[in-house]
Structure 1
Amino acid sequence: MKESTGNRRTRKDEGGSRSLGRLLLALAVGVLSLSGVPGCLAGEKEPEGGKSFVGTVEGTAPEVRLLRGLVTALKPESLDLTLDGSPDESGRVRRLFFEARGVRQGGVRIDRLRVEALFVQLQEEKDAPSNPGGAPEPGNLGVKSAVQGYFEGRVTEKDLNDFLLGATLSSGNSQWKDLHLDLRPGGFTASARFSTGAVSALVEIRSRLEIQERDRLRMEDYQVSVNNADTDMALVKEALEKAQPLLDFRDFPFPVRLRHLDLDEQSLVLATQTPPSLFPGKTLTYRAR
């Protein structure tokens, strides 16, 4: 059965620019590449749709186990999961959508993440919960693969800088400390204390960002100043190149083709040309409290 997309909105802009997209990548991969060993979808057959959970997600229906897997991976403040029906016996579901807010990934807060996937194959996570004295409890479910996927993520400048404050990022033998980021339309400026061995300097970077081959995000035409002087300092540029691409979707479990990059002074939005679309279906909700 083919999925109708006739009423779907599409993004008009392809290019754009933006920064530190790897934080969104880490999030997205953590969500939809929950690696594990495929297994049967053991558990009750009755649907548990339309349920709401606060604090914990309990239940053995496949859709509840999928919600629990997403909550475990993302640690969101809230998450709404919509399916067009319960997964079948082999773990297939035709369409799913979720929106997560206040996601924590690698220490950074992601303001909003929206994902839609079509013709999805689910799988059990590697480690199922134990049940002493009885049969093993069915584990959480993750997404093994999907025919198509749509993605949109938003991170705010404030949340990025809250994460960077006091952080140390390493690239090879180099370290970046005291980082501060200023988003701007088309790119970003950033400052940091760069050190490698006996060299330590205050580095400022001005760069635009560009989507490459629809699955990577790179810094382009960046300018570097060290201690308030323009420089071609090889060590700094080598460290920056090692950080490229900032975001890489080539290993994403379903085809994602990035087309839309929107930057302003407050936030960064990265999306596929066709944005995720909520549809009527079975919805499960989670609130941290």
Structure 2
Amino acid sequence: MNRRILFLSVLLLLCSLLAPLPEAEAGPDPKALAEEIARELGKKFRPDQLTVTTDGSTAYVEARGAWIDKIRIDSLRLEATLKPERAPVSGDADALAGLIASSVGELTLLEKDVNGYFAKNEESGFTGLHFDFTPSGFQAKGIYTASFLFTFRIRLAAQGVLALRPEGIILDQVAMFVEGLKQPDSFTARVVSSVNPLLEFRDIPFPVTFKRLTMTDSEVTLTGGPKRLDQGATAVWKRPQP
């Protein structure tokens, strides 16, 4: 082979080896992503304050005073898996569904916030419905407006447990009493159906897993065991002051 051709071939080979490699496509900026998730969660759940930490593929969320299904949630934690290809956020109801693929959560609902909700809302047919939580369940009392052949108001007392179901927290194993007399199952089922679910999950626009429910004298906690994210970019969202 001609020496000049050999030299040129070697030179071209060296140039190709030494040429800079094309830059890998940059992933989403974790800080901007954290701010985006915080903004969308803030608009959806209207908490007093929330914090989002993300490494680009996972997000960890802590919120205080959020609202789900018109009931105040004292605390909310989420460990969310983010979608690798996220749709542009448009500010509509599907924005969070376009960001979050799945999550495990933990939320705490206070007895006083449940009672505060029913003190202002009578869609269930109850007036002054009041719950008393215990570690083993609940007791409740209130005035129920019933319509059969005519409309009448009944002072009811009830006891039962709170149960975790895919659709939300429900009243379960309920026994209902009028002036100390236990009522028929058919009547109890009708009244309970007007309250259930106590807290509905369909207001959450992405999948959340809760595995167990526990109660104390003042609160109920659902948890799926979310884990904190130790590293990543963090953003804080606060409810705008009126």
Q: Could you give the per-residue CA deviations for residues 215-262 of structure 1, whole angstroms, max 9, x where no partner exists?
A: 654433211002332221734422314544545658966554432211
1:102 Cα deviation after fit: 1.3
* Aligned mates of 2:120, 2:206 — CA distance in 1: 35
Is the counterpart of residue 66 in structure 1 residue 16 in structure 2? no
1:35-50 paired onto structure 2 within 5 Å: 47=29, 49=31
Give the percent of matched residue pairs that are identical in Structure 1 and Structure 2: 24
Matched residue SS, 2:117: helix
Instruction: Give the AA of the match of 1:66.
Output: I
Is the counterpart of residue 84 in structure 1 residue 41 in structure 2? no
The answer (yes or no) to whether the contact 1:80–1:99 under 8 Å persists in 2 is yes
Match of 1:164 in 2: 118
Higher relative contact order (CA 8 A, sep 6+): 1
Matched residue SS, 1:161: helix
The answer (yes or no) to whether the contact 2:132–2:139 under 8 Å persists in 1 is yes
Which residues of structure 2 form unaligned runs of 5+?
1-26
The answer (yes or no) to whether the contact 2:118–2:129 under 8 Å persists in 1 is yes
The answer (yes or no) to whether the contact 1:209–1:218 under 8 Å persists in 2 is yes
Instruction: Give the AA of the match of 1:104.
Output: W
Match of 1:281 in 2: 232
Q: Hey, which of these two has a bigger chunk of helix by percent?
A: 2
* Aligned mates of 2:102, 2:33 — CA distance in 1: 21
* Aligned mates of 1:62, 1:71 — CA distance in 2: 14
The two structures have a TM-score, normalised by structure 1, of 0.62
Which residues of structure 1 form unaligned runs of 5+?
1-44, 50-60, 86-93, 129-138
The two structures have a TM-score, normalised by structure 2, of 0.72
The answer (yes or no) to whether the contact 2:33–2:54 under 8 Å persists in 1 is no
Is the counterpart of residue 102 in structure 1 residue 102 in structure 2? no
1:82-231 paired onto structure 2 within 5 Å: 82-85=53-56, 94-120=57-83, 122-124=86-88, 141-144=95-98, 146-170=100-124, 175-197=125-147, 198-212=151-165, 217-231=169-183
Match of 1:75 in 2: 46
1:17-32 paired onto structure 2 within 5 Å: none
- When the two structures are aligned, how many residues end up with a matched partner? 210
Instruction: Give the AA of the match of 2:136.
Output: G
